[in-house]
Amino acid sequence: MRRRRKQGWPWMLIALLLAGFGGWHEWQQPKPEKRAATKVFEVIFDARLHPHRDNDGDSFHLEHGGKVHEFRLYFADCPEKKRHPLNGDRLAEQGQYFGGLSEAATVALGQMGEAFTREWLSRQRFTVCTKWHAVYGSGRYYAFILFPDGEDLSAKLVRAGLARIHTGGTTLPDGRESRVYEQQLRQLEAEARAARRGGWHQ
């Protein structure tokens, strides 16, 4: 009996060392920096897309000044890019918005939105405008992403039929009121629906 305990203790020691290393590794992971909200937009000119498994059509990680922040678009909501146990109701709501898409079709639309956003942020220069308003304590911050052609990413997604007009809004960096901008997005959405783009292809 004593010999059995003697033989088992090295394995217990190894298990404890591995558990300790796991905790140390987790402690070493960089935590997102918390930023205080402002009343005016901070304009960031040299951000670039940071690859991350959670990036999708309307939320993505951007690197700037050696730090990484996750931003969430104002006004636009792309469908979820994958199904998990907690987002079934949201997927159903998103599919219903586009005229009753099946769950599979809604997820496929979300994947199209993710690819669309990745393409624009990878190949085009862009400017970030943010007030550092947190998104429900999720570690994300609302932002507008502006391109040299004068259109922002939310508008491009709605124009392509890849996002619904949804989530938080605010006065735009150029001074346009939220309600005015939303009316413009409704017009883009009507055009996308008429042209059967993206989720409006039915």
Position 98, amino acid: F
- For residue 140, is it within any domain? yes
Positive or negative CA dihedral for 192, 147, 154, 179?
negative
- Rounded Cα distance, 103 and 76, in Å: 19
- For residue 185, is it within any domain? yes
Residue 169: per-residue pLDDT: 86
Residue 182: per-residue pLDDT: 96
> What residue ranges of the chain have pLDDT lower than 70?
1-33
The residue behind tokens 């605010």 is: 170
Percent share of the chain, pLDDT over 70 = 84
- Which residues constitute the domain of residue 192? 37-200
How many structural domains comprise the chain?
A: 1
Position 68, amino acid: V
Residue 21: per-residue pLDDT: 40
Residue 18: per-residue pLDDT: 43
